[in-house]
Amino acid sequence: MVLSSTVCKEVKSDQNHKAIADGLLTQGFCSISDYLNPAECQNLTLEMEALEKAGSFRPAYVGQGDKLQIAAKIRQSSLLWLSSNYAAQASYKVKMAQLSNELNKQLFLGLRSSESFFALYNPGDYYKIHWDNFQHLSPRKVTVVLYLNQNWNPKDGGQLHLFAPDETTIIATVQPEAGTLACFLSGDFPHSVVVASRRRVAIPSWLRADDPIIL
C-alpha cells in the first residue's frame, strides 16, 4: 500500500510525540533531531524574518526600574508570540496541541493550552540559569523548544544546558540545530542558554495546565 505524504507526515509526528512522552516518563526530558523537516523550518523562518523586518519583536526582559535591570542581567534576547494568522505558525501551534494530547494520554498532566514564541538571540545574547516553573508553582508543566538554525557548529555556542536541581551539574546539552526539538518537565530542570557567536533563533513553548488567557 502506498501512503499519501499527508498520512506519512501524521504517522511520523505521532511517532515523535510517543517518543517524547516516553522520554519525559523515563528521564523527564528528551530531544529529537528531526521534529520538523527543512521545508517546515524554512517556512517558519520566512514568517519570522518578515515580522522582524516589520519591527514586531520586543526585548525579552520585563519589568521597570530595578526589576528591569535584574531581568536584563539574566536574559538578553527579543521575542514575539506566535500567531495563527500565519500558516506555518498556525500549523506549529496545532502540533503543540497534538503533543499536549499525547502527553495527557500517557502522563496524565492535565494539559489544556499552550503558548509559543519566537526567541531571537543576536550574537552575545544569552539566558542564564533559570526555572520556567519554580517549585512547581506555575501552570507551565512542559517546556518545548524548537530550533531554526541551519548548520550549527558546537563552536558557535548557543547550547541549551539542562541542570540537576542543584543548579550546578549539567545533565543534558542540546545543540540548537534546525529541526531539533528539546523537551523537559518545566518544574524539574533549571536550564540556561550559552552565549552564541552567531544569531540563534528558537521557538520555546509551554504546555500549560490552565485555560488560554484571552486578553
Which residues are at the interface with ligand OGA (CB under 6 A)?
Answer: 119, 127, 132, 145, 160, 191, 193, 202, 204
Q: How far apart are CA 96 and CA 205, in angstroms?
A: 8
Sign of CA dihedral 22, 7, 118, 44: positive
User: How many beta carbons lie within 10 A of that of residue 179, not counting itself?
Assistant: 18
Q: Which three cell numbers stand for residue 80?
A: 514575539
Q: How far is the CB of 172 from ligand OGA (least distance, A)?
A: 11
| d(C-alpha 122, C-alpha 30), whole Å | 26
Binding segment (CB under 5 A) for Mn ion, from list 23-31, 88-96, 130-138, 161-169: 130-138
* Range in contact with Mn ion (rule: CB under 5 A) among 46-54, 129-137, 152-160, 168-176: 129-137
Cβ atoms 171, 23 nearer than 8 A:
no
Which residue number, 35 or 127, has a Cβ lying nearer to Mn ion?
127
160 touches which of Mn ion, ligand OGA, none (CB within 5 to 8 A by kind)?
ligand OGA
Q: Give the whole-angstrom CA distance, residue 79 versus residue 117.
A: 6
Q: Given the rule CB under 5 A, which of 7-15, 87-95, 131-139, 168-176 is the region that contacts Mn ion?
A: 131-139
Contact residue for Mn ion among 40, 47, 102, 132 (CB under 5 A): 132
Q: Which stretch binds Mn ion (CB under 5 A): 20-28, 90-98, 109-117, 128-136?
A: 128-136
- The answer to whether 61 and 68 have CB atoms below 8 angstroms apart is yes
Cβ closer to ligand OGA: 104 or 163?
163
Residue found by looking up cell 523550518 in the block:
41
Whose Cβ is closer to ligand OGA: residue 17's or residue 200's? 200
194 contacts 127 by C-beta, under 8 angstroms: no
Contact set with Mn ion (CB under 5 A): 132
